[in-house]
Amino acid sequence: MAISQKLVRTYFLLVLFLALRAFGNLSLAWGTKHMPETLAADPLVYIRSMLHPGIAVGVVMLIVALLVRLALLSLADLSFILPMTAIGYVLAALLGRVFLHETVSPQRWFAVLLIFGGAALVSSTPQATTGKIEGSK
Amino acid sequence: MTWVLLAVMVVATVLSDLLQSYEMKRAGEQSVGARGVGRLLRMIVERRYLMLSIFCLVFSFFSFMALVQTAPLSFAVPASASSFILETLAAKVLLKEQIGPRRAAGCLLVLCGVALLGK
């Protein structure tokens, strides 16, 4: 695959993963906050919680996000993907503020700048520094 | 309880990511089209390290669910990023990824940002 085509695919999967994880986490947080029971060591409570619409939608979105991330890991290094997907933390803070009315202090805007700066630096490095591991199927 | 849940989540996340990255490097390039998704699902069932990584992810996921119920999402998500530094080091040592000065500086900036986001 040509390098530019691989790069486009990597960034497409990255954006898809970020969107799925941000909205999946949001749906999960909304669902757990609206549950009558407290999640603890009892596995039955976790299984019952899956019936809550917010949690169910969140789980499906996070499962799809997992598959997208697996495809992403086949194209790029883990140490490349980790800082790039940190942009998701910014999205989580913003979505938490807008939809869950959580407080986001002014210093978090500075944090957002740091994360974007760091991600920009990492994006200027080669996305994959190791070849396909020998002995693969 | 918050810190116990956080610790379980971090350890499970690090293990899960390392196993996933190792297996996906072995598998070669994958897609997310209809056939690609089917192939990815089949790989999870057939490859034991991927299966183990999903097991770790389930632990991490349930810890996260319990965490977001008691702590704000804007704390829980950035706090979970403490796994970030451990994973980057493990990627260099175990997965033999090349982490040059620019990538290292970028990772540190992101880590500082995520830590600040959690305050």
Whole-number percent of chain B with pLDDT over 90: 27
User: Which tens digits make up the pLDDT trace of B73-95?
Assistant: 667 766 777 777 788 888 889 99
Q: Which two tokens stand for residue A70?
A: 């697996």
**CB within 8 Å: B69 and A129:** no
Helices A3-33, A78-85: crossing angle, 10 deg rounding: 50
**CB within 8 Å: B30 and A82:** no
Domain count within chain B: 1
- Rg, chain B, Cα only: 16
Give the DSSP letter of residue A39: P
Domain that holds residue A54: 3-123
Q: Is residue A129 part of a domain?
A: no
Average confidence score pLDDT of chain B: 85
Does the CB of B38 have a partner CB in chain A at under 8 Å? no
ipTM beyond 0.95? Answer: no
Q: Which two tokens stand for residue B40?
A: 């990815």
CA nearest neighbour of A131 among B99, B91, B111, B25 = B25
In the prediction, which pLDDT does B7 show? 84
The pTM of the full predicted model, rounded to 2 decimals, is 0.79
Domain that holds residue B76: 2-117
Chain A to chain B, count of Cβ pairs less than 8 Å apart? 207
Q: Which region among A5-9, A16-20, B38-42, B48-52 has the lowest average model confidence (pLDDT)?
A: A5-9
- Residue B70 and residue B12 in contact, taking contact as beta carbons nearer than 8 Å: no
User: Which tens digits make up the pLDDT trace of A11-55?
Assistant: 999 999 999 988 898 888 888 777 766 656 667 777 777 778 888
Cα–Cα dist A118/A126, whole Å: 15
Please report where in the chains the tokens 């056939």 appear, as a residue.
Answer: B35
Helices A87-100, A3-33: crossing angle, 10 deg rounding: 30
Does the CB of A51 have a partner CB in chain B at under 8 Å? no
Q: Which two tokens stand for residue B21?
A: 């990255």
- Please name the residues in contact with A32: beta carbons below 8 A apart, sequence gap of 6 or more: A39, A49, A54, A55, B65, B68, B69
Domain count within chain A: 1
Is A100 buried (19+), middle (13-18) or exposed (0-12) by CB count in 10 A?
middle
Give the DSSP letter of residue B43: H
Q: Which two tokens stand for residue B48?
A: 């034991």
User: Which tens digits make up the pLDDT trace of B15-28?
Assistant: 999 999 999 989 88
Q: How far is B14 from chain A (nearest CA, A)?
A: 11
Coil/strand/helix, residue A137: coil
Alpha carbon B42 to chain centroid distance?
21
Q: How far is B80 from chain A (nearest CA, A)?
A: 10
Alpha carbon A116 to chain centroid distance?
15
Q: Is residue A37 part of a domain?
A: yes
Q: Is residue A134 part of a domain?
A: no
**CB within 8 Å: A90 and B117:** yes
Nearest to A111 among B100, B106, B116 (CB): B116
Cα–Cα dist B83/B56, whole Å: 14
- Residue A113 and residue B114 in contact, taking contact as beta carbons nearer than 8 Å: no
